[in-house]
Chain A
Amino acid sequence: MNLARLAFAYARRRPLATLLNVLLLAVGVATIALVILLARELETRLAREAAGIDLVVGAKGSPLQLILAGIYHADVPPGNVPLAAIEDLRRNPLVREVIPLALGDSFRGWRIVGTEPAFVAHYGAVPIAGALWAAPMEAVLGSEVARASGLAVGSTFTGSHGLAEGGGEHGQTPYRVVGVLAPTGFVVDRLVLTGIESVWEVHEAHHGDAADVHAEEARARRGPETAVPATAAAPTKAASPSKPPPHNGSREQAPREPAARGRVAPDAAGHDDDRDHDRNGREVTLALVGYATPLAAVALPRAINAQTALQAASPAYETARLLTVFGVGADVIRGFALLLIGASALGLFVALTQALDERRYDLAIMRALGATRSKVVGVLLLESVFLAAFGLAGGLVAAHLLAASIGSWLPAAAPLATGARVWRAEEWGVVALALAAGILATLVPAWRAYRLDVAATLADG
């Protein structure tokens, strides 16, 4: 026999009231903890995905949109920018790394990203099967894409226009899978990667086949349309497998290029076998930029934004802005959860106060049997903390389970499920809050138990 056993016996004696109070507390705790888990996971993920990317450079428009499209692949990009302008950026001494991305197509909802091998390296991804692309129309699948689509090295697929499912098919220009990446936990797992040339090629073919449809779709989707030169002759020129990977190619070519020619100049037809020249008229969607020096943070965005064609957006700043917006909603939910916890504390208080009326004879006989005042108070306190702990544990377990299974009830938030496996420091705050609620609810009953007149109670009984 000990106080805990006694407290448990009392709790068991009023199962319904006990259960209700525990449940109420558990719901409050679960709500708060779930908000914490998801918000922190979101924050962590946003920061993690953006790690190493100091700036996203793309077309003028909403900077947040540029970040969402360029880093999180969650929104359509504002538009396209001339490749030449991005190449200029490479020559800037403030810049360590520039990774151009060409967006615009997707495969069953997964985005097809035309880029350079540096993109794969940036996320620390390595091929688990096959190799990276070496020629146009070769594609490498992120692990999640490969898993869900069932495609493997050697399979072919066609992209569809636009970033969501249901766009027009680029049936004439199928991709061939040459590699599958190992899982990284980054957004790259959910992307289809290919050379920038592939995206250009697809759209040149597309333009040739169905220029009208394409233009219409592009308008409808406000969409990112990567390739500009409209010519039916284009596929032949870029298909040469002997071409070096785009990464190397662009590095080598950049210095030889004349100044940017701007986004107009669809004169590729006259230069079928002059690829270098052709690149001058090309566009990409945006570029991920890494600073060479912290000083760049001061000078570079301003310099870029001063140019007419380009906009520079800082992931750190934009995600902070995004989280502020999200934070308001989280605060509302948190406030509601606090209300629930307060209500459960009140319920506990009422239950304990009522129980004390019935139980004062028990407390009196315990005193007569040798229990000290503090022991009697201890039983009440323990019982309350006991219930609080139960509600707390139940709530925390529920929160983690809900977070773990969030994909099944909130598919858009599925990636946040990994947050369920982490214990956040703020959860200690929830622990303290629930226990404090339990103790607070006991204060008045405990004081009355402490002051109990044993002799009078026994005589009265």
Chain B
Amino acid sequence: MSAVVDTHAHGHGDDHGAHHGPYGGLMRWITTTNHKDIGTMYLWFSFTMFMVGGVMAMVIRAELFSPGLQVVDPDFFNQMTTMHGLIMVFGAIMPVFVGFANWLIPMQIGAPDMAFARMNNWSFWILPFAGILLILSFFMPGGAPGVGWTLYAPLTVQMGIGMDLTIFAIHLLGMSSIMGSINIITTILNMRAPGMTLMRMPLFCWTWLITAYLLVATMPVLAGAVTMTLTDRHFGTSFFNAAGGGDPVLYQHIFWFFGHPEVYIIALPGFGVVSQVIPAFSRKPLFGYASMVYATSAIAILSFLVWAHHMYTVGMPVTGQLFFMYATTLIAVPTGVKVFNWVATMWKGSLTFETPMLFAIGFLFLFTLGGFTGLVLSLVPIDIQLHDTYYVVAHFHYVMVAGALFAAFAGIYFWLPKWTGRMYDEKLGQIHFWLTMIFFNITFFVQHFSGLAGMPRRIPDYPLMFETWNKVSSIGAFGFGLSQLLFLYVVLKCIRSGEKAPDKPWEGADSLEWTHLPTPVPYHTFDPQPDLR
């Protein structure tokens, strides 16, 4: 291994401090081992997938605008909901935070690059192929799988060859995530600058360290679940088929043993971003740093003990329901600690409200709302009533969109000056925030009502009593989708013609990338490492 590292250091020796990579053009991106290049590619990949998944959401909302079937047939509708979920979770939200990790972790801990630079290249370049496989499934006979992103057995057995492509895509995505996680864990544990103790690291690094462990622990479980689906489909096994001695519910147990930690895999890096942004714009240190670290760890550990709260209606014994209910409500405690800490960080600060802070506050407000509906759903009797209704759809979009996506927007606006060397248009950024905030709530808040009133999820058509809220929701969704084009414009405008950014554009920012590095950051940084003792 050391030989590889040596060659790498030697080969790039001449370029230290230069602003460009060893190759020009496309080859730079294909062959790069630079954490900043790879981070950039992750970010653009996830934005592309965000757009693809977004178009699918628009199709779904167009069909649901009115009762009756107007736009698509029920089969295609199911394919849309399935692929929207898979693409947003695995193609958009997970990679965007890996992009952040690549860009920021080495800079925040004072390391020159990621620990395994070539594996880093590979873990990115697997992703486009996985994305292509997912999208190719639409062009197979029978189309993409229409089984929901959870891929429940035995419906998966009825699907066409698109299902197999999806399974292989998930294998690839899993490999990519595991490699990325090994890289992050190794980098954080071994490559911190002298004096950068674990408990001095910015919270973003902490949340990613914990997330990476969650990924290494759970992605193989998902791979196992989909592989069993594959062998049930083609090789005569009966893991999930009662006629052969299997059990369809076994699939759900395995899937959610991955699926619940996955919720935190998506949420924790967002917590980390927000924990950098809020102190910076409050001009005040993060309140309760140590308790933040412990709360994050507690959430991660508890996330392995609550999976069956997604399955209260499968008919588990009463003791099972009670255990999972108690364990789930327990997560409210460390999550509450985090929310209280963020509010306490703002308390008696000196607040300004630039776009990153607006998105961070939006995150705090709406994520907490999603957390509260999570508490409501954790209670077995209410969950049995609301399971698989639009209430659940509203709940997890508050967590995924207002949680993870808002945090990602906050982070992008926050670090864009450091990454590009230019400032974004503050006014347009704020307009983007308000449009996103308003349309998000129009889209999803009303879905709580549809769900309470009894509208099941994943249906292409609905009884007349649900019409009002579906109309409102669809209008909100179209607005939300269009608003994201403004985001693309703001980013492109920043890259092309933004004003030059100072080394430290945010007064309260205090991690190494702001205090120790110029803007824009050079291609190679922290070689040699800074001494922080």
A binds B: no
Interface residues of B (CB under 8 A from A): none
